[in-house]
Structure 1
């Protein structure tokens, strides 16, 4: 019996008759209308010879007959190629006007995902002379400002138009990929950072970005762009006699590139593998005649070539089932997901106390500094680490080539989490497997979760009983080492805290002496 949620008709009329992405087929570049030859060459250099269905569908609705007349909403499985689906048409459109200002903004929930998307844009944007910036907080605000903002020099000449003089700093990138927090830092404090020329706004991983406030970044961006559009309308309607700030809007030399042309409205593109249907959330985006592109009728969908398995575990011996499974997988690239930062750290530490595992294991969580996470991810991409023990910070959009298996050490609490975790494998038409370790009391809840995605093909995966028993002596030793490690870390943290308290007390004492 199908889940009632799958049957539910969306409240918003525009979501009831979507464009079915499955009607499109993979398309070689030679059959793709209007593609700039420079972009084709850039894609071929990185081994891409054709576009996936979601990329073809978005191209047809933006560069093809659709021509960005409507805002685009994409609900497509993880690994289907959504990043290039929006990057390619945006770069193509921006390349037609040689104006150096911020015209496309892409917002993502995490730093690592933003870095990944920036690399996709940079690969193709440079081929047509566009610059891509990154604002995620990996470097200091001052360093980011030096990359994003240029400070024009005043050149003396015999005759000049005062309206053309550029004394104010201006953005030096055409496309900016950002996380919400750092985006707001630049909006609020960076001189010369402006969204007044913005043509495209991409909200990737939309459901997560709408769920979390992130300093009210979305209403701020919408308000800034809408007020600019209204100012432009008023200026065109009232003419040069208009007084105040409207009379001086858009006076820098940048605007000369738009002279005599109607300034385009802000086009929004929203994307997710689990796009929300909640009208109150979607209304925040202020969408213009939105068009929904989706893969099939069901809201939740797994990658086509994904194989799903469940392992029923004795609760106290659960780590042994994981170790036995890793031994069975013989060094294949895997991500092991846990339910929390603390669980990730402890499990990774425990696994590294097992001596003879056929793989190198590392941790990936918010417990680590950003630079260490980035280094770990880079090493994992290169294959020098075979197993990454991670929190759900790794679930959203991260694309690492060659991940053969996803292992849910802790059962995900929500179906969306399961979809995003499983979507780290079987990407871009490749095969992959997802294993979920379950206690007996979790099996019924897990089955109900799978019904929401109409997945009745989750097979039972069994391990030989003797493979578990053989690990018991090593497990006892590893647990003792883990206990000692945790005690040592706790003592070290306590020592740091004590030092901080003593330092604070000494400072207070000195302050009292000064009074």
Structure 2
């Protein structure tokens, strides 16, 4: 199958040809056709499978077939994303696939100019890409109406759940046009997402390109067992090694990400951090420098890393194991994309043994046969106070024997 076989509008096929896309990925092959026919889609796919194009291409095709312009203060299509980085990435993809067609897009997310977003929405837009928090803020202020949205996508729905966005998402969905076409994409399907599917989608076509919680086959995984204080030096060795072109390092907390990035810089490695406490422009600068190769290592938290789609990431390092084992799959999915090979290294301290075992349970892989306790050096024979090895059963210091009789004189 080729993209030409879908019958997409000419501006889209021309843009795909210029980008060098000929053969759709499995998720695209399964999802594009039903959406062109007007069907709802439930897509189960991990990151790096091409799911953005799987929903962007049909939406663009439908919009190009619509007459007139969007009504002021409305949007024809709404894409909800859990993070700012993912929203920016989705807008870039829509613009690329639209080619030279006059398709207007608008980003609505926190950390950027609210006034600029309001001015753009006041004219009406074809595609609105938003995070739930800022969108509900603008809806409450009556700066945008959602009742004319005809196409809606919930991307990375499981991450929406993790970030506490399910209630805002349900509220947003209740405001949409009743005869909309909907799509929901998620890497996993927890029970709460299953409940959302029942209310959000109508007779959906289910497409699944990989079993849940599986790792891309071209990722070479390894686990190194060590005490926490030794991680800094080992990380610097890994990212400075041969073959490391771009690397993402995952830290558990925002402070931890800043600390790891600062230590790498001190150790002579060009690095920057990206997390939720950074302003949007700072996050974009860091991501831009990483894409251009000015910064070889990007240190990120789990939430900030969702949506990062940078070509040529050769290595992923888990400096800290994730609290949620499913995030391990999302983390290492940053590498080995689009048929490339990749390397994922996990640095595991003794107090992270349970987290490692949880990861092994959901992935079905034994990442290290011995577990973190195996790196502890066995103690040698316990020695007595005089330095000689103790005899079996001997404990503590040797007791001094009491002398009987009168003490010896100093002269003796």
Matching of residue 130 in structure 1 with residue 103 in structure 2? yes
Aligned length: 367
Q: 2:237 aligns with which of 310, 319, 324?
A: 324
Partner of 2:196: 282
Partner of 1:469: none
Q: Please identify which structure carries the higher helix content.
A: 1
After superposition, residues 177-256 of structure 1 pair within 5 angstroms as 177-191=129-143, 193-214=144-165, 216-225=167-176, 229=178
Partner of 1:161: none
Runs of 5+ unmatched residues, structure 1: 1-26, 151-170, 230-264, 461-515
Partner of 1:29: 3
Looking at structure 2, the residues matched to 277 and 209 of structure 1 have their Cα atoms a distance apart, in angstroms, of 13
Tell me how far 1:414 sits from its aligned partner: 1.8
Whether the 8 Å CA contact 1:334–1:388 is kept in 2: the answer is yes
Whether the 8 Å CA contact 1:348–1:362 is kept in 2: the answer is yes
Whether the 8 Å CA contact 1:78–1:303 is kept in 2: the answer is no
Match of 1:174, SS state, is: strand
Partner of 1:153: none
After superposition, residues 390-469 of structure 1 pair within 5 angstroms as 390-443=300-353, 445-456=355-366
Looking at structure 1, the residues matched to 368 and 50 of structure 2 have their Cα atoms a distance apart, in angstroms, of 25
Partner of 1:313: 226
The alignment's C-alpha RMSD in Å is 2.3
Tell me how far 1:131 sits from its aligned partner: 1.4
Looking at structure 2, the residues matched to 459 and 83 of structure 1 have their Cα atoms a distance apart, in angstroms, of 37
What's the TM-score, normalizing by structure 2?
A: 0.83
Tell me which of the two structures has the higher relative contact order, counting C-alpha pairs closer than 8 angstroms and 6 or more residues apart: 1
1:352-382 Cα distance to aligned partner (Å, 9 max, x none): 222xx4x411122223222111111001001
Looking at structure 1, the residues matched to 254 and 104 of structure 2 have their Cα atoms a distance apart, in angstroms, of 36
Looking at structure 1, the residues matched to 46 and 303 of structure 2 have their Cα atoms a distance apart, in angstroms, of 18
Distance 1:391 1:212, change over 3 A: closer
Match of 1:328, SS state, is: coil
Matching of residue 111 in structure 1 with residue 84 in structure 2? yes
Partner of 1:266: 180
Tell me how far 1:456 sits from its aligned partner: 3.9
Tell me how far 1:404 sits from its aligned partner: 0.4
Looking at structure 2, the residues matched to 408 and 348 of structure 1 have their Cα atoms a distance apart, in angstroms, of 13
Q: Which structure has the bigger radius of gyration?
A: 2
Q: 2:66 aligns with which of 73, 97, 108?
A: 97
Runs of 5+ unmatched residues, structure 2: 371-412
Tell me how far 1:397 sits from its aligned partner: 2.6
What's the TM-score, normalizing by structure 1?
A: 0.67
Partner of 1:479: none
Match of 1:288, SS state, is: coil
Distance 1:139 1:449, change over 3 A: closer
